[in-house]
Amino acid sequence: MTALRTRFLGDLQLKNYSPHTQAAYVSAVARFARHFGTSPERLGPEQVRQYLLYLVNERHVGWSTYNIALCALRFLYQTTLSRPALLDGIPCPKEPKRLPVVLSREEVAQFLAAAPRLKTRVMLTVAYAAGLRVSEIVALQVDDIDSQRMVIHIRQAKGLKDRYVMLSPKLLELLRTYWKQARPRPQRYLFPSQTDKPLVTQRVILSCRRTLRRSGLKKHVTVHTLRHSFATHLLEAGVDLRTIQVLLGHRNLKTTALYTAVSIERITSVTSPFDALAAIEIP
């Protein structure tokens, strides 16, 4: 590991960035250095601009990947190399806003019923019943399930924040069935791997893909789709946006407000002004 890489990683740790963000930033800077075959210390704003254009025009990366590269380079030059003005002329992209895929309640039931194994079904059910991210599912510990208060404790999630979500009585019953039948060892994590560590997120993602193929659904369903469906169904049931924001762990209410655009019940309950017009004769 080079001295610059060590210092860069140390700065990320001192800023208390999550391990996931640290790994993403280190990888992004490493790819930047490999592209030019030299240390970023020897590169300047023109090389940064060339590299970002290369990502867009030749690699055709998504805007989320582009933003990770840009944020990593900003941190490198502003914090680690103390050259804050170097990226002043680099514009931040305007990301396209796309509506998330949302399943109906019937589609959720069809999807969960197609899970090939009990453990898979329980993990995917937790994603929908509590609105969890895949990283939050694999990090769940047995002690996080509080059946006395009927809540699930989510520890150090995105943004290094703790929160509580509701524990559905039906979910609690399913978790108890899973625990009796699977009796996973070791017992620290709710969904452990073969060692005393949580599952890697990729295992859950692959299990979700297998379940989708078995379900017969034509929609593009990911683990996060279940979280989107959780939020949308709460909104359609009359739960206020602020409560949904807290349950999802969103920092900004605007992020949660996205679900008002995908709630079919809300959209179809609004009367078009066209209906109030006098009858129009069609020639």
Which residues does the annotation mark as catalytic?
Answer: 133, 158, 224, 227, 250, 259
Report d(CA 267, CA 272) in Å as an integer: 10
Residue 225 has phi, psi (to 5 degrees) of -60, -35
Report the 10 Å Cβ neighbour count for 25: 23
